[in-house]
Amino acid sequence: MLIKNANDIASSEITPKHLYLNRRKFMTGMAAAGAAIAVGVGLHNLASPPATVLANAKIDGVQKSPFSTTETITPYKDVTNYNNYYEFSTDKYEPAGLAKNFKTRPWNITIDGLVKKKQVLDVDTIIKMAAPEERIYRHRCVEGWSIVVPWIGYSLSELIKKAEPTSKAQFVEFTTIEDPKQMPGQRGNVLEWPYVEGLRMDEATHPLTLLCFGMYGEVLPNQDGAPLRLVVPWKYGFKSAKAIVRIRFTDKQPLNTWARSAPGEYGFYSNVNPHVDHPRWSQAKERRLGEFLKRPTLMFNGYDQVASLYSGMDLKKNF
């Protein structure tokens, strides 16, 4: 049965029991990481992907970006083995294995709606539209954990300019692939498929909003959203849609998947706001993946550059 309202079901059914049990596994992993540091394993070594992976899928010509944070990068092994990707599984440790043979070529993206240039483009054509940049972004999950990742891509605004939206376009809607044969999580009804997300036009065209196709110097792994995803660093992670197949420009606010499924818990804007608790947990602190101690959560995830986008808005009401 499709979830219509979070109050209709028990919280254990929204977040499966085995997901809670995996926290023990996660804590064990964090303890191991801490022990490695204690005996002198360098952070650079922990954060770097295996050389064999880079040799097979390295992205050339990547420029460093001034938008990057200087915070310590989260280890590659953690970012690629602890994933929120319900299309494959609600368990955070399973997507890496289940997505191993996910086919990302051929792959087309439809661009339509209120634009002058409606078109269907091959993903590799989109990837080559602008010079790739490495952007080291903080990325916050609503459940209380966070990561720092060197994403590779370019500002979504580059693609938007080429589509030439009309003056009526106020929002951008992103639809992700629906393929239950490849994505076992879509055979269930934990969410309504396909996954849909949306941004206001000024959010979508902000320079920080990244159209992403790589990370850690290499092509984006399947479990992290290949072949093309969003990264919106001042919002909670579920706003950064993975495996995009359609970009539609509209004059109406899209009904995004989480707001449809649990409107009392997930609003359209979903900006990181430590002063607004999730109904089932506090958002005031977060735990960086691979670390033991928590740290204070920053407003807009620390990206004060976007504060002007929400001037005059009630960010507790518009959560």
pTM of the predicted model, to two decimals?
0.84
Tokens matching residue 95: 């997507």
Helices and strands (DSSP H and E) totals, the chain: 10, 13
Q: What is the average pLDDT value for the chain, to the nearest integer?
A: 87
Calculated CA dihedral for residues 134, 94, 4, 282, nearest 10 degrees:
-70
| Distance (Å) of CA 46 to CA 35, 79, 161, 221 | 12, 11, 39, 18
Domains within the chain, CATH numbers bracketed: 15-308 (3.90.420.10)
pLDDT digits (tens, 9 = 90+) for 141-199: 999 999 999 999 999 999 999 999 999 999 999 999 999 999 999 999 999 999 999 99
pLDDT at 148: 98
- What's the mean pLDDT in 270-290? 95
- Alpha carbons 141 and 287: distance in angstroms, whole number: 10
pLDDT digits (tens, 9 = 90+) for 21-73: 344 444 434 444 443 333 333 333 334 444 334 335 799 999 999 999 999 99
Name the residue among 61, 4, 33 with its Cα closest to residue 259.
4
Reported as half-sphere exposure (CB side, CA atoms, 13 A), residue 299 has a value of 9
Please check the confidence at residue 277 and state whether its pLDDT lies above 50.
yes
Tokens matching residue 297: 């959560």
Name the residue among 171, 157, 167 with its Cα closest to residue 248.
171
pLDDT at 130: 97
Scan for tokens 């602890």, then name that residue: 82
pLDDT at 57: 78
- What's the mean pLDDT in 260-283? 94
pLDDT at 151: 98
